[in-house]
Amino acid sequence: MGSGALKVPRAGPSVSATAAIDRADLARFTLGNEALAREVLELFAAQAPCYLEALRRAATDRDWQRAAHTLKGAAAAVGARQLQRLAELAERVGRGSPRAAREAERELAIGVIAEATAAACREISAMFAP
C-alpha cells in the first residue's frame, strides 16, 4: 500500500467492545440537551448512506477528499470517534499512489468505513429503542 494506506484493526472483540458513539462528547457538543442530541444522532443515521455513497462515487481526488472530510465532520458532531479517525485517514488515502493501488486502497477504506458507520448507526438505533 502507498503512504496514504488506511491501517485499521480488523473487527474483533477489542474493536466491537468500544462504543461507536462517545456519549460524553456528544453531550458536550449538544450542551446536554437530550432532544438536540437525539435530533443530531437521527440526522446522522439518516444521512449515513449518503456519506458512503459520496465516497463510492468519488471520481477525482478532490471528490474523495471532500467526501471523507464531510464524513469526518459529521462523525465528530455525533461523537463517533472511531469513524471520525477513519474518515480522517481516508482523506489521505491514495495520495501519490498509482491509480490501481489508489483504487484498491479506497475500496479497503470504504469497507472499513462502512463497518464503522454501521456500528454507529446500530448504536444510535439501540439508544432510542423502546
Predicted TM-score (pTM) of the model is 0.82
Distance of CA 49 to the CA centre of its chain: 11
Q: 18 pLDDT exceeds 80? A: no
Domains of the chain in start order, with CATH, are: 20-127 (1.20.120.160)
| Residue ranges in the chain assigned as alpha helix (H) | 13-16, 23-29, 34-57, 61-78, 81-90, 99-127
Query: What is residue 129's predicted lDDT score, i.e. its pLDDT?
Result: 85
For the stretch 49-86, pLDDT in tens is 999 999 999 999 999 999 999 999 999 999 999 999 99
Residue indicated by cell numbers 453531550:
27
> Per-residue confidence at 3, pLDDT binned at 50, 70, 90?
very low
Residue 8: per-residue pLDDT: 36
